[in-house]
Amino acid sequence: MLRYLTLRIAQSIVTVLLVTMIIFVIIRLIGDPTHLMLPPEATEADRELLRQQMGLSDPVAVQYWRYLLQLLHGDMGMSYRFSLPALDVVLGRIGPTLLLTCTSLAIGILVGVPLGVASAVRPDGWIDFVAKAIALFGQAAPPFFFGLIFVLVFAVQLRWLPTSGYGGPQYLIMPAIALGWYSAAGLMRLTRSNMMEVLTSEYVRMARIKGVPERVVVYKHALKNAALPVLTFASLQFGILMGGAVSIESVFAWPGMGKLILDSIANLDYAVVQAAVTVSALMFTAINLAVDLLYAYIDPRIRYA
């Protein structure tokens, strides 16, 4: 177990390093911020001076190494746009994004998993039919498309909800459902196919042979086994939803990280982009690590391996 844990932590660190390294290089390929930071009439010599001050004239490898050393002290550089530490800028925007992704994931799990179980218990029953329709729509178009339709119907036509903005739950409903629908679709499909398989397993049959009530057979013996891959999938969904949040935040003018990242890329605010990606990657790997531990807690074959 200890070996497993060490291995997973090492893997997580490598993942974070790789992701930050990639974004570090890519953002430098996109453009040179000194063009945006200095007035157009500035000379090449002025810009070179600024680049040297910002450390941008060093080789990328050296810059990255410096970035890592600073990172150890929790320093992710300064945002030139906000004149604030990049980390503070990011942390100021992370709350709305987490609220949106966590609510969406909760919707995805609370809708997708029970629907998946119910449709596996009665394949081709009416619940299965409804669930398949929900899944089909959920994966037929990107979340922002549903976001736009919701705005049109519930905000513009019916005037039940505000079109966009941030505040009470009335602002959260549409973006969270638009995003959660997508993950509900995937979770429902995976739960259904896992449950179908597990329900024909020999140990489920043995549970029935024992005369355990069918509800215990389904919700204890079968669901716990079928839930293991669903758990991993859900934790990956978290990353996918953070990505999906970028477009949803634009549609609903949601003041989260998605919008911040887009604006920072447009303004070539390297430090903020790097900080946002580093924080996201850290969060994502931390959640995956937590899910792996949970997995080991549930599955004794891993716990004692």
Partner 1 sequence: MSDLLRVENLTTWLATESGIITAVDDVSFSVRPGRALALVGESGSGKSMTCSSIMRLLPASGHIAGGRVLFEGEDLLAKSPAEMEAIRGRKIGMIVQDPMTSLNPLFDVEDQVGEVFRYHLGDRSRRARRPKVLDVLSRVQIPAAEKRLGSYPHEFSGGMRQRVAIALNIACAPKLLIADEPTTALDVTVQQQILALLRDLQRETGMAIILVTHDLHTVQRFCDEVAIMYAGRIVEQGPVAEIFARPAHPYTEGLLRALPQLGGQEDRLPLIPGQPPSLASLPAGCRFAPRCRRATDLCRTEYPDWMATAGETRRSACWYADEVLG
122 binds partner 1 (CB under 8 A): no
Residues 280-299 that bind partner 1 (CB under 8 A): 298-299
* Closer of 164 and 201 to partner 1 (Cβ): 201
Identify the three-state secondary structure at position 160: coil
* Closer of 23 and 218 to partner 1 (Cβ): 218
Nearest to 182 by CA among 130, 256, 281, 111: 111
* Closer of 103 and 225 to partner 1 (Cβ): 225
Residues 168-227 that bind partner 1 (CB under 8 A): 200-214, 216, 221, 224-225
| Minimum distance, C-beta of residue 197 to partner 1, in the bound complex (Å) | 13
- Per the listing, tokens 């004692």 go with 304
| Minimum distance, C-beta of residue 103 to partner 1, in the bound complex (Å) | 30
SS3 content of the chain, % helix, strand, coil (to 5): 80, 0, 20
* Closer of 214 and 263 to partner 1 (Cβ): 214
Q: Which DSSP string corresponds to 126-169?
A: HHHHHHHHHHHHHHHS-HHHHHHHHIIIIIIIS--S-SS-SSSH
* Closer of 6 and 200 to partner 1 (Cβ): 200
If binding means CB under 8 A, how many residues of this protein chain bind partner 1?
24
Q: Output the six-digit token pair for 215.
A: 């509800």
| Minimum distance, C-beta of residue 208 to partner 1, in the bound complex (Å) | 6
| Minimum distance, C-beta of residue 207 to partner 1, in the bound complex (Å) | 7
Nearest to 108 by CA among 279, 231, 289, 215: 231
* Closer of 99 and 228 to partner 1 (Cβ): 228
- Per the listing, tokens 């906000």 go with 82
| Minimum distance, C-beta of residue 184 to partner 1, in the bound complex (Å) | 25
- Tell me the CA distances in angstroms from 281 to 13, 22, 113, 139, one per residue in order: 10, 12, 26, 25
Q: Output the six-digit token pair for 102.
A: 């966590």
Kindly list the residues in this chain that would bind partner 1 in the complex (CB under 8 A).
Answer: 200-214, 216, 221, 224-225, 298-301, 304
